[in-house]
Amino acid sequence: MRKLSRRDFVKSGAAAGLAAATPQVLGQAPTVLTPRSAKPVVISSANGNFYKNGGTQTGVEKAFALMTGGKDVLESLVAGVNILELDPEEDSVGYGGLPNADGVVQLDSCCMHGPRKRAGGVAALEGVRTPSLVAHAVLQQTDHHLLVGKGAQGFARNLGFKIEDDLNTERSRRLWLEWKRRTDPGHYLDPDKRAELHEATRQAMVAEGLLRSRHLHGTINCDGLSPRGELAGVTTTSGLAWKIPGRVGDSPILGAGLYVDGAVGAAGSTGRGEANLYGLSSFLIVEQMRQGKAPKDACMEALKRIQANTVEKRLLNARGLPNFNVSFYAVNLKGEFAGAALYGEDPEETGWAGETGRRVRFAVCTEKGPETLVCDGLLPGAP
């Protein structure tokens, strides 16, 4: 009988253990651990399935195609919103976005990468048509989360971004001049009256059909889940039309305009930024999903908080309810998604992808293609 060496003994023992752990079924392969897969989806505000900047794809279509084609999830989403930022007809983001009270287009954006747990943002950025790309550069090339004003512009210039003197289009400048013609700059001595006058002028221009009310607080939020189960999101905006110079809303602020946790989900918003900032609603939505709530229920919880926090008379309508709208978009790690709004109806919510009616909508793209769907509303009627 041959004596077993120590090496032979170890090898034979390992082989016996492997055989014992292998199912004794003819032709059955051993179990192999594979990377986690997911049902991919891109969700955004309704404008993500409307504007094409002269091309053939909307923002959600492009983001989905790139993401499912193997491109990084955040890079895909940024490429999708670039379509809107560059489209001169979309006057709520990027090039041609409605300017501030001084006629200057100031842009905000932020983005978050779930797997890398990195984020970047810019605020009050002037001269760059695609603030989402600059926000992405902040994420990639700095140790910071937010750059603002001239510092953000200088950072962009140093990286080779084209800095333009004026991002107004003929349309955005014409609308600003009309607004300016109707207001009295002498009200700087009475801030309350000045604010009332400017808001009344904005609403009058909406009533006359010069503006859509959604563009007063226009933004695009776009979130996605890749086939590899990776989450990311991006938000970009030109902010409140004719805002006080330097005003920054919720869009570039992590936890408000956007929040992503790669182990849970992503959420973002459009609408009245100040209402969203007060409760850091996107963070709240992701935390609600962490506790097991479905995306719709998580969004509804955030909307209830906004309603509860709205107590100033100037922000209430005749019914004692908020006189503004806020919409949320959320997706979890399972690929479940939802769009929800404070009010499910809005007289100005027409024209998205040929749709008509009063319902607030959101965009989504899955393997079925791009769709524009109706948001669930917390409160009845319209603001």
Of the candidates 268, 267, 270, the residue with the CA atom closest to the CA atom of residue 346: 270
Report how far apart, in Å, the C-alpha atoms of 52 and of each of 220, 301, 314 are.
14, 33, 37
Is residue 247 classed exposed, middle or buried when 0-12, 13-18 and 19+ CB atoms within 10 A define those classes? middle
- The helix or strand, by DSSP H or E, that contains position 279, with its residue range, turns out to be helix 273-279
CA distance 68 to 212: 34
Helices 73-86 and 131-141: angle between axes, nearest 10 degrees: 150
Active-site entry in 58, 219, 237, 270: 219
| CA angle, 23 then 26 then 31, to 5° | 40
Question: The tokens 């670039």 sit on which residue?
Answer: 82
Any bridge partners for residue 362, and if so which? 45, 373
Q: Determine whether 219 is an active site residue.
A: yes
- C-beta pairs of 169-174 under 8 Å, 24+ apart in sequence: 169/88, 169/91, 169/95, 169/96, 171/88, 171/89, 171/91, 171/96, 172/91, 172/96, 172/97, 172/98, 172/99, 172/105, 173/99, 173/103
Residues forming the active site: 219
